[in-house]
Amino acid sequence: MRSPTRSSSGAGCMERATTMYANDSSSYNNIHDNTIHTYGSECFNVKENAHSNTFARNDCRYNDEPLEFTGSLIELRGHNNVLDANVISGSRSYALKLKSDSGGYDKGGNSVTRSTFHEATGAFIRNDHSAPQGTFCGNTFDSSLRLLEGNPVGTPTAPCAGNGDTVPPVAPTGLTATAASSTEVDLSWNASSDNVGVTGYSVYREGVRVCSVTAPAWSDYTYLARVKVGSTGVRNGLVARYGNSNNFYFFVLHNGNVVLNKKVSGSTTTLQSVPFTASTSAFHTLSLVIRDTSIQGYVDGVLRVQGTDSSLTAGKVGFYANGIATYDDVLVTAP
């Protein structure tokens, strides 16, 4: 999976990401609530073997690849990925393409729900996969263009069953059990992912539920990414403890400064700002260390800004960009 590298207009949230390659088994990434206007290639490109990734509530626009290059705004080469409630608009080629380089990667199972498609030159959806796809429902399309080219995907405009959250979570994997004593056992597993969110887990023994576990909150963590700014005059950086678009911390490079801000109930306050000249030709490594009420911002391994604040106690991570920027090597670690 290739995550978005250019973003404009505000903060978004990415729950986990890794460096991506052509045959890439990256899984359980959750990319949501971003504005991604590429003016180039894809907003989102899931590579062969990448699976169980979610792309939800994003505004994805302006692919500039000519139709003869069969480009798209979103390309799904992997399997069992979910697109939900996105705006997908303005492509010189296709809006969505499903394709793999070889039959061994043609595994299907991708779902596209509740998304809005506008303005493409080719069909809105091009499906070169032969394996059955997942759920296609609740989508809307401009009436001026072919909806589908290639193999069928069901009826993408059909109403989704039920109301609200229509896509089930991906089942957790990697369950392990370790004996803690003669009467206790410790269980661990890889977290489930969902386009809306996972609230908890039920643990069963021989078909009988023995306990429930609440999904852990994102409270204390270290968040690191390499960032290259397109211009020193725009704000580019990291978001932490993101609750919604009106409540989050953000650590940005802007106008010859590095700045640590908080946005609470829609009002922005600067916790600390110090001079720093960012390069537009090289990457800087930004990291945020969040521990209880302590927030520390590092640039290239050097502590630059810090603050103490109790306004926001938990929330996800994301990128902040109101201009062109490139992000790479994203890593989130627990204390």
The single-letter DSSP state of residue 215 is P
What percent of the chain has a predicted confidence (pLDDT) above 70?
Answer: 88
- pLDDT value of position 195: 60
Is the confidence at residue 8, as pLDDT, over 80?
A: no
- pLDDT value of position 18: 39
Beta-sheet pairing, 148-150 with 125-127: parallel
316-332 average pLDDT score: 86
290-296 average pLDDT score: 95
Q: What angle do CA 200, 320, 47 make, to 5 degrees?
A: 65
85-92 average pLDDT score: 94
- pLDDT value of position 19: 39
How high is the mean pLDDT of the chain? Answer: 85
Q: Which CATH class is domain 221-333?
A: mainly beta
- pLDDT value of position 181: 83
Amino acid at 288: L
Amino acid at 91: S
Highest mean pLDDT among 6-15, 84-93, 195-204: 84-93
Token look-up 């697109």 returns 83
Amino acid at 206: E
- pLDDT value of position 162: 65
CA distance 238 to 252: 6
pLDDT band of residue 22 (cuts 50, 70, 90) is low
Flag the least confident range among 87-101, 290-304, 310-324. 310-324
Instruction: Tell me the Cα Rg of the chain.
Output: 21
Over the stretch 161-206, which tens digit does the pLDDT of each residue have?
865 566 677 788 888 888 888 877 888 887 777 666 677 788 888 8
3-state secondary structure at position 8: coil
pLDDT band of residue 5 (cuts 50, 70, 90) is very low
Over the stretch 47-75, which tens digit does the pLDDT of each residue have?
888 898 999 999 999 999 999 999 999 99
CA distance 196 to 198: 7
Select from 146, 81, 74, 139 the least CA-distant residue to 108.
81
Domain ranges of the chain: 13-150, 173-214, 221-333
Is the confidence at residue 327, as pLDDT, over 80?
A: yes
293-305 average pLDDT score: 96
Backbone angles phi, psi at 105, to 5 degrees: -100, 0
87-113 average pLDDT score: 92
Q: Which residue has the higher pLDDT, 102 or 139?
A: 139
In sequence order, the 6+-apart residues with CB closer than 8 A to the CB of 208 are none
pLDDT band of residue 91 (cuts 50, 70, 90) is very high
